[in-house]
């Protein structure tokens, strides 16, 4: 996995909010494993993993929270159209 940033840690902190309590405990370790897999893929091929990104924790973690991704997209769009 690539070097962690505060954004990665904040994104990972959102993961345990999964609606099913039985899935919460394994969510962060699964995100870490996916980030490791993506990083190995990136190093080997020179390209990002098609599902898990470039090897940082943030894409692997945020992929588990589509509502947050939608809110993030709306925030970026609003910032782009700001005067």
How far apart, in whole angstroms, are the C-alpha atoms of residue 48 and residue 66?
20
pLDDT tens digit at each of 83 positions of the chain: 778 787 877 777 777 666 666 767 787 888 889 999 999 999 999 999 988 889 988 877 777 777 777 777 888 888 888 87
Query: What Rg do the C-alpha atoms of the chain give, in angstroms?
Result: 14
What is the model's pTM? 0.67
Q: For the chain, which residues make up each domain, given as ranges? A: 6-80
Q: Is 83 exposed, middle or buried (0-12, 13-18, 19+ CB in 10 A)?
A: exposed
């Amino acid at each position: 996995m690539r070097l962690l940033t505060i954004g990665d840690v904040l994104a990972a902190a959102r993961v345990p909010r999964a609606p099913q309590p039985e899935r919460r405990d394994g969510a962060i370790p699964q995100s870490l494993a996916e980030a490791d897999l993506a990083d190995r893929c990136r190093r080997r091929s020179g390209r990002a993993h098609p599902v898990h990104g470039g090897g940082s924790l943030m894409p692997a973690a945020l992929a588990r929270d589509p509502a947050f991704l939608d809110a993030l997209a709306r925030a970026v769009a609003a910032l782009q159209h700001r005067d």
